[in-house]
Structure 1
Amino acid sequence: MSDQPARRQLSLNLFINGVGHHEAAWRHPSTRVEELFTAGYHHELAQHAERAAFDAIFFADGPVLSPGIEFNSAAHLEPILTLASVAAVTTHIGLIATASTTFYDPYNLARLFATLDHLSGGRAGWNIVTTAASAAAANFGLDEHPDPSERYARAGEFVEVATRLWDSWQDDAVLADRATGRFADPSRIHPAAFRGEHLRVAGALNAPRPPQGHPVLVQAGASNEGRAFASRHAEAIFTAHQQLSDAQAFYSDIKAGVERYGRRPDQVKILPGISPFLGGTEAEARALEREFNELTVPEYGLRQLATLAEATFDVADLDRPVPLDVFADAGDVTDNNRSRRQVVAGIVRREQPTLRELLHRLAGARGHRVVAGTPEQVADTITEWFTHGAADGFNVMPPYLPGGIEAFTEHVVPLLRARGLFREGYTGTTLRDHLGLDRPVNRYATAPETEPALAGV
């Protein structure tokens, strides 16, 4: 047996967003928008990613209807239920769902993710969000949306409660002893017993500890508060960058933050988004990208940009340069409170595009890196970021589905494998196995005998 350490491997997720991440994908004849809300469509995508040994599939979500629904297929099925359906037709691929700490109750959500982890044999992941969309508040009976500081404070308590609930059953609490008639050992089941500023939970979860111990904790916030939260809690981080240098700065900052919290940097995977248009030549790939851009509806893009820029734009100005002062207050990578806005500000400063050109740049993946090129060029980009301290892997965001993921797995994945950067097949069964993450030790495994338990249950 070799004494050489195993070579570091890429993590690859398939980020499923309707019929693709390009805002006009639903209009393209290669997509199947008519199947968007069917189980079979999502089963097919997951099974394709599983055949390529991807770590996971991922669904974003938000508890509010997009105001751009007139021009974009911006309606989504609930992700946890969708992934439960996918779990029944897959065996290895991870299943990551977005859920909000602002609008869920921790007991309900901990139970949902525990159930998904049990039903899938240990493949669940939770993308933790606090929900930035202010319109969501009214959907839950609130007069106003909590400010970011309050949302993150609640989120911190929420994660503490959820992990307490998942730990409330020790791994050996279930006896299932037919001879003695004892199903469980109450001394190994513990109340969550949490009382904080925002949340209170009393009892234990009503289901045993999940197979992974805890579902994998994922986070995508890049603001100052988001980075601090991720450094403390996240095991995988989704992020958006246009340039290698910005991605390297983010990567370094997060890994240092993880160490400050006494955690191991190798136990946190940083996964930027990449949205590839692939062609036999670079010219063919760019022609395909233009084909999608020509299907965009400017009114939709202008609404999205207005929200991001906190400014108004006019269709009459589409072929005029974007004024540089629109993003003058966006800050830079050292001031992270307006992170996605900074990405767009960087595009405007570097490229000085017309308004139409900017809308096309954002149509592909909302500020994530869009690459139009040959499979070799896309593989080169992935390799460069992975080997130069910018990424532990990538959130693959095909501009159109299912064709975009089929092209990526058929033409890019073999190149990554030939370079020794991506697995030939699964070597484990859980999402933690795929990501190389440790199974968390139950907090009660070494607790003193006086730790309160559910005696008499």
Structure 2
Amino acid sequence: MPRELHLAIELNGTGELNGTGHHPADADPSAALTAAHWTDLVRLAEQGALDFVTVGDRLAPPPDGGGDRIAPPLDGSGGRLDAVAVLAQVALVTSRIGLVPTVNTTHTEPFRTSTALAGLDIVSAGRAGWQADVSTTGARAVGRVSRASAAELWAEAADIAEFAARLWDSWADDAEVRDATTGRFTDPDRLHQVDGDGPHFAARGPSMVPRPPQGRPPLAVALDVHDSDGQWELAAGHADVVLLDADEPVTARLARSALLHRTAEAGRDPDALRVLVRVAVDLGGGAGPRPHSLPPADTVRFTGAAADLAGLLADWHAAGGADGFHLLPASAPADLPAVVHELLPPLRERGIFRTGYTGRTLRDHLGLPHPADRVALRPDTAR
């Protein structure tokens, strides 16, 4: 029996200004500013039993506005909603699919990162994840004066990922008592003081939010074989999912092997890491291929019929370089129906993709264990 693959889809281009995919010409640019747009897309992805959806976010100014412009165009075409807020809304009308927003660690306070993601995991009943990203261009939009190098920003991202995990661990799984007779909400002996003192920030715990249902929402890191060592260190040291750019099966296999080796060197279990190759796809939306619609990427690029894409994914999966795939559609509204109705059936016929969800949390879908409370295991940190 072949091993099942994991499958996720990006609902907007992290390098674009709207929420319609990488090719906005065939979609209403203002649609991404409505709740219906997002709920319709995610419900359809859930109908297909995809592992998770990703929603990008960015602070860079519009590309046609120059380096000094930070306001979006007045026609709404440059508008973008906060990714965590979007998926918190979607969580209320879905029940199984994983929800993975991009969080910019450069301009989001570590405590805010932790509490926002814990809140998303709670309201979604354990379906939250997050994709860490950094920004070298959005400083003026948030009032940041100094500009750090990319290496410093990725090192900061790693520190924030570690501190967020420690904050989530600052509440034991059974810290909530909810005893109406005594009026106690928590057991103080099950809360732990954590400090974040480092070169990039200073913060204190415990968290104000109970431990998330998943313990720690899974962290996804986008990675290219040519990326900086800082990005590789973040992935090896903290990621649960790596979204890998690779243009050939052998490249993916070698990169995955190197990544698993570095994960083991970081003292983590490499078997608890999922590597999904990113695939830029244009399935035509029922109207034939759209010229020049695929995003620039050093990864697999496919234009054509969904049934042919199924064969490509099956071949790559059999080559052993990927646990699954992260699809980057040319247009999410146009291509997602083809993914659900035309791509998934032949993958199921091959026995390599689920017919329905067997678990309830994102960790369940990915086959990841519930993480232990690391802080509770260190007696010196108990309050």
1:402 to 324, 333, 338: 333
User: Do the aligned partners of 1:65 and 1:75 also contact (CA within 8 Å) in 2?
Assistant: no
1:8 to 3, 7, 17: 3
1:78 to 55, 79, 82: 82
Tell me what 1:191 maps to: 193
The equivalences for 1:318-357 within 5 A come to none
The equivalences for 1:141-152 within 5 A come to 141-152=143-154
The equivalences for 1:133-282 within 5 A come to 134-222=136-224, 223=227, 224-278=229-283
Tell me what 2:68 maps to: none
User: Do the aligned partners of 2:155 and 2:230 also contact (CA within 8 Å) in 1?
Assistant: no
Tell me what 2:69 maps to: none
2:301 to 348, 370, 384: 370
User: Do the aligned partners of 2:19 and 2:80 also contact (CA within 8 Å) in 1?
Assistant: no
Does 1:451 pair with 2:381? yes
User: Do the aligned partners of 1:87 and 1:120 also contact (CA within 8 Å) in 2?
Assistant: yes
User: Do the aligned partners of 1:114 and 1:166 also contact (CA within 8 Å) in 2?
Assistant: yes
Does 1:60 pair with 2:20? no
Query: What TM-score do you get using the length of structure 2 for normalisation?
Result: 0.89
Query: Would the alpha carbon gap of residues 260 and 196 (structure 1) be closer, same or farther in structure 2, given more than 3 Å must change?
Result: same
Task: Return the alpha-carbon distance in structure 2 between the equivalents of residues 439 and 73 of structure 1.
Answer: 41
Does 1:100 pair with 2:98? no
1:112 Cα deviation from its structure 2 partner: 0.4
Does 1:27 pair with 2:40? no
Query: Would the alpha carbon gap of residues 437 and 74 (structure 1) be closer, same or farther in structure 2, given more than 3 Å must change?
Result: farther
Amino acid paired to 2:101: A
Tell me what 2:128 maps to: 124
Query: Would the alpha carbon gap of residues 421 and 68 (structure 1) be closer, same or farther in structure 2, given more than 3 Å must change?
Result: farther
Amino acid paired to 1:193: D
Task: Return the alpha-carbon distance in structure 2 between the equivalents of residues 73 and 118 of structure 1.
Answer: 32
1:87 to 60, 84, 91: 91
Residue aligned with 2:235, SS? helix
Tell me what 1:331 maps to: none
Query: Would the alpha carbon gap of residues 7 and 446 (structure 1) be closer, same or farther in structure 2, given more than 3 Å must change?
Result: farther
Query: Would the alpha carbon gap of residues 21 and 244 (structure 1) be closer, same or farther in structure 2, given more than 3 Å must change?
Result: farther
Query: Would the alpha carbon gap of residues 420 and 37 (structure 1) be closer, same or farther in structure 2, given more than 3 Å must change?
Result: same
Query: Would the alpha carbon gap of residues 74 and 415 (structure 1) be closer, same or farther in structure 2, given more than 3 Å must change?
Result: farther
Amino acid paired to 2:382: P
Structure 1 residues not aligned, in runs of 5+: 1-5, 294-359
Query: Would the alpha carbon gap of residues 277 and 183 (structure 1) be closer, same or farther in structure 2, given more than 3 Å must change?
Result: closer
Amino acid paired to 2:279: I
User: Do the aligned partners of 1:241 and 1:273 also contact (CA within 8 Å) in 2?
Assistant: yes
Q: Deviations over 1:401-440 (max 9, x none)?
A: 3221101111110011111110010011100000111111
Amino acid paired to 1:255: L
Query: What TM-score do you get using the length of structure 1 for normalisation?
Result: 0.75
Amino acid paired to 2:196: F
The equivalences for 1:273-292 within 5 A come to 273-278=278-283, 288-289=288-289, 292=290
1:246 Cα deviation from its structure 2 partner: 2.2
Pairwise CA RMSD: 2.2
Residue aligned with 1:254, SS? helix
User: Do the aligned partners of 2:33 and 2:79 also contact (CA within 8 Å) in 1?
Assistant: no
Residue aligned with 1:135, SS? coil
Amino acid paired to 1:137: A
Does 1:112 pair with 2:112? no
Task: Return the alpha-carbon distance in structure 1 between the equivalents of residues 77 and 118 of structure 2.
Answer: 31
Residue aligned with 2:33, SS? coil
Q: Which is further off, 67-76 or 180-189? A: 67-76
1:411 to 335, 339, 342: 342
Does 1:426 pair with 2:354? no
1:7 Cα deviation from its structure 2 partner: 4.9
Task: Return the alpha-carbon distance in structure 2 between the equivalents of residues 73 and 270 of structure 1.
Answer: 34
Q: Deviations over 1:162-199 (max 9, x none)?
A: 11111111111111112333221111111212311222
